[in-house]
Amino acid sequence: MFLRVLFVSCLWWVVSGPASGAPAEVSRTLLILGDSLSFAYRMPVEQGWVALLERRLRALDYPYRVHNASIVGLTSGGALARMDALLSEVRPALTIVELGANDGLRARDPRLLRTNLLAVVRRLQTAGSKVLLLPMRLPPNYSAAYRESFQSVYHAVAEASGVPLGGRMLAGFAADASAFQLDGVHPTAAVQGRILENIWPSLEALLQPPMSDAQ
């Protein structure tokens, strides 16, 4: 008789779940797929915008863990080649795609960038991930025609895939030489918070509610 009562009690718990007031742990993966702009290049990792984002999510009780898969020098083609291996390792609920700067700096055909980016985004969507695409811009030493063609890629990919475009990472300080390292390309640690602020509004719109709101 005791064993029967114990079995029924355990079965009830499995079906009903834990008592109200004891919320289950919820954690989704937020994947960052980018290049050196998201890698905390030549600075302590904890000073980069991705680490600042992770701390903000935790402070605001958003149910995400951040997986930064950014690699220095990564191109759109390199990212596409990594997708199968990456998605076998992580199952993102949401992905920030920050790619294309290295394609542009190497003056690669924008049509190839469009093809690669669209394939990356659709691969993520097929895997069940929401996507936020960050638009890149090139410095003014490239021809106006090439810069315009390059920048139009992001709008084309967003329209074709139905994903939102985020804010420009370097908005508000792109022309400020003091905001960049000696190479003139990579932002300093001092402006990583500004990068996060540029991205945050469009990212926040895609986030699941904080756990405190869901209780």
pLDDT for residue 14: 34
- Beta-strand runs (E) in the chain: 28-34, 64-68, 94-98, 130-133
Sheet of strand 64-68: strand arrangement: 64-68, 28-34, 94-98, 130-133
* 9-32 mean pLDDT: 53
Q: Is 186 a catalytic residue?
A: yes
Site of tokens 């609920």: 93
Q: How far apart are CA 181 and CA 192, in angstroms?
A: 12
pLDDT for residue 106: 95
In this structure, what DSSP letter does residue 18 have? S
pLDDT for residue 26: 58
- Encoded tokens for 202: 């469009």
Q: Is 178 a catalytic residue?
A: no
Average pLDDT, the chain: 89
* 110-119 mean pLDDT: 98
Question: Each residue of 49-68: b (16+ CB within 10 Å) or e?
Answer: bbbbbbeebeeeebbbebbb
- Encoded tokens for 93: 């609920």
Q: Which of 20, 178, 183, 213 is catalytic?
A: 183
Q: Is 36 a catalytic residue?
A: yes
pLDDT for residue 205: 97
Q: How far apart are CA 86 and CA 102, in angstroms?
A: 20
Crossing angle of helices 144-161 and 110-126, in 10° steps, is: 20
Q: How far apart are CA 18 and CA 11, in angstroms?
A: 12
Q: Give the model's confidence band at 5: pLDDT under 50 very low, under 70 low, under 90 confident, else very high.
A: very low
Task: Name the CATH superfamily for 27-209.
Answer: SGNH hydrolase (3.40.50.1110)
User: pLDDT, tens digit, for every residue of 33-54?
Assistant: 999 999 999 999 999 999 999 9
* Residue 22, pLDDT above cutoff 70: no
Q: How far apart are CA 201 and CA 99, in angstroms?
A: 19
SS3 track for 185-196: CCECHHHHHHHH
Domain boundaries, the chain: 27-209
Q: Give the model's confidence band at 109: pLDDT under 50 very low, under 70 low, under 90 confident, else very high.
A: very high
* Residue 204, pLDDT above cutoff 90: yes
User: pLDDT, tens digit, for every residue of 58-70?
Assistant: 999 999 999 999 9
Of residues 5, 2, 36, 10, the one with CA closest to residue 181: 36
Q: Which of 35, 36, 103, 161 is catalytic?
A: 36
